[in-house]
């Protein structure tokens, strides 16, 4: 077989280039600190690297979701704090207005302040987050949740959706509460039943909001004061209790004792003052009433001039219901604040879990793709020696010619 000079040089050059390529690869690994540059170099390792980086990207999104959720919940918690302060102030004013020493004029001054507080709490209910989305409109984030329509009623334009964000592989968290739940779905009365006076009562009787004893059956009842049979001023006032089927629950002729408990079917109330014949009070199941209507009704109550005992009794009955409604609203707001605080703590805990998981993934990823520098430096020296040998061999081969042997 003939071996030409050019063939010999080609072989020597190719050997030298191969050594240069190997050396270049090791140099690149040392410069970048990475072991794998192409999937073909380590198919299994390269596939694992892709999977691990996808996990890190997903966890990165979870962390962004946590930041977004924390921002929204922090704003909501702050708003609930402001709403609490407003409701507590309204309650203080209700207690002040319920004092017999107040006059029509002083109650009108209280009404002006309460009206301003009503505007403030309505503004709180229509708050937005840092992105301009309404906090309490459910999924309808572009719609103002509460509007006061032409009839003076407070309409809710949102929905009951609770927005959620995923903050971990198997965990989501609510980042909002619907305005319907926070401000509207609040029971009146004692949350079980409400005691209402008949607007045509002529006596000075005031009914207590009442409490449940045993099990209230959810029925509607009327406490009716009977007609007097004579004009004897010492004749006792009597009453009866009727149900919705016009059946006696407490028989007619039962003697009324001011301040004494009246108990039936899980209901316990007492009445103070002197009712007139045919005056009556209604006990009905509690219904939902929004915070705004409760406060608005209070303002209207304060604006009505009062003078005689009957009008003063109406005032006290109405303010007693207002105080109870404010207490129920405060309970709901405190419940929301507690839930919001719990969710913020959950975000902190999940953030710590995600960070620890990220650290573990990065350690695994490092073990797969990061370079062993001690081994790489040793290999670099080996490749450099191989290149130098190839270069010397090429120099020797390049100087050989057949004419040297003729």
pLDDT (tens digit per residue) in 183-224: 999 999 999 999 999 999 999 999 999 999 988 999 999 999
Q: Are 177 and 264 found together in one domain? A: no
User: 16 pLDDT exceeds 60?
Assistant: no
The residue among 316 and 376 whose pLDDT is bigger is 316
Say if residue 264 is in the same domain as residue 167: no
Does 277 reside within a domain? Answer: yes
Strand partners, 168: 171
Residue 392 clears pLDDT 70, i.e. is over it: no
Residues 150 and 63 in one domain: yes
Say if 214 falls within a structural domain: yes
**398, part of any domain:** no
Cα dist. 246→85, 220, 281 in Å? Answer: 45, 10, 15
The stretches of 249-308 forming alpha helices (DSSP H) are 291-303
Q: Which of 113-122, 136-145, 226-235, 290-299 has the lowest mean pLDDT?
A: 226-235
Q: Is 154 found in the same domain as 204? A: no
Question: Is 330 a member of any domain?
Answer: yes
**Averaged pLDDT, 2-25:** 55
Query: Does 181 lie in the same domain as 129?
Result: yes
* Gap between the Cα atoms of 75 and 320, Å rounded: 33
Whether residue 310 is contained in a domain is answered as: no
- My answer on whether 183 and 215 are in the same domain is no
Residue 161: which domain range? 53-188+324-357
Query: What are the b/e assignments for 138-163, b being 16+ CB within 10 Å?
Result: bebbeeebbeeeeeeebebebeeeeb
Tokens of 341: 């605080």
| Separation CA 397–CA 10 (nearest Å) | 10
Q: What pLDDT, on the 0 to 100 scale, is given for residue 372?
A: 46
Question: Does residue 263 carry a pLDDT above 60?
Answer: yes
Query: Do 67 and 128 fall into the same domain?
Result: yes
278: left (phi over 0), alpha (psi -120 to 50) or beta: left
CA 290, CA 178: separation in Å to the nearest integer?
Answer: 13
Do residues 172 and 209 both lie within one domain?
no
Residue 124 forms part of a structural domain: yes
Q: Is 183 in the same domain as 209?
A: no
CATH number at residue 351: 1.20.1330.10
Q: For residue 250, what are the contacts with CB-CB under 8 A and spacing of at least 6?
A: 239, 240, 241, 262, 264
Same domain, 63 and 146: yes
Q: How is 46-85 classified by DSSP, letter by letter?
A: HHHHHHHHHHHHHHHHHHHHHHHHHHHHHHHHHHHHHHHH
Domain membership of residue 166 (yes or no) is yes
118 and 175 housed in the same domain = yes
Q: Give yes or no: residues 59 and 158 share one domain.
A: yes
Domain total in the chain:
2
Whole-number Å distance between alpha carbons of 166 and 303: 50
């Amino acid at each position: 077989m003939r071996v030409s000079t050019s063939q010999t040089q080609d072989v020597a050059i190719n050997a030298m280039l191969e050594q240069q390529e190997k050396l270049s690869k090791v140099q690149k690994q040392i410069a970048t600190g990475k072991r794998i540059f192409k999937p073909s170099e380590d198919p299994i390792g390269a596939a694992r690297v892709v999977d691990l980086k996808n996990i890190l990207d997903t966890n990165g999104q979870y962390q962004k979701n946590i930041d977004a959720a924390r921002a929204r919940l922090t704003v909501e918690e702050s708003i609930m704090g402001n709403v609490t302060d407003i409701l507590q102030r309204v309650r203080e004013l209700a207690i002040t207005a319920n004092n017999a020493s107040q006059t029509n004029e002083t109650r009108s001054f209280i009404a002006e302040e309460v009206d301003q507080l009503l505007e403030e709490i309505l503004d709180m209910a229509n708050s937005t987050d840092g992105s301009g989305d309404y906090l309490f409109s459910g999924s309808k984030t572009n719609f103002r949740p509460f509007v006061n329509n032409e009839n003076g009623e407070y309409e809710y334009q949102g929905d009951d959706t609770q927005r959620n964000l995923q903050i971990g592989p198997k965990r989501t968290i609510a980042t909002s509460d619907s305005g319907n739940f926070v401000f509207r779905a609040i029971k009146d009365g004692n949350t079980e039943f409400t005691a209402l006076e008949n607007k045509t009562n002529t006596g000075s009787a005031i009914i207590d909001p009442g409490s449940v004893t045993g099990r209230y059956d959810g029925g509607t009842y009327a406490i009716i004061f009977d007609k007097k049979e004579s004009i004897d001023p010492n004749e006792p006032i009597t009453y009866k209790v009727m149900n919705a089927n016009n059946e006696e629950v407490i028989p007619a002729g039962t003697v009324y004792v001011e301040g004494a408990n009246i108990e039936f079917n899980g209901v316990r109330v007492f009445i103070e003052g002197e009712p007139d014949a045919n005056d009556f009070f209604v006990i009905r199941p509690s219904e939902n009433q929004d915070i705004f209507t409760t406060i608005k009704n209070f303002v209207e109550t304060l604006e009505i001039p009062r003078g005689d005992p009957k009008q003063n009794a109406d005032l006290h009955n109405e303010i007693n219901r207002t105080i109870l409604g404010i207490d129920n609203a405060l309970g709901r707001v405190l419940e929301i604040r507690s839930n919001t605080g719990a969710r913020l703590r959950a975000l902190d805990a999940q953030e710590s879990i995600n960070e620890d998981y990220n650290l573990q993934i990065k350690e695994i990823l490092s073990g797969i793709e990061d370079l062993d520098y001690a081994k790489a430096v040793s290999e670099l020296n080996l490749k450099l020696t191989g290149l130098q040998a190839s270069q010397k061999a090429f120099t020797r081969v390049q100087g050989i010619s057949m004419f040297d042997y003729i």
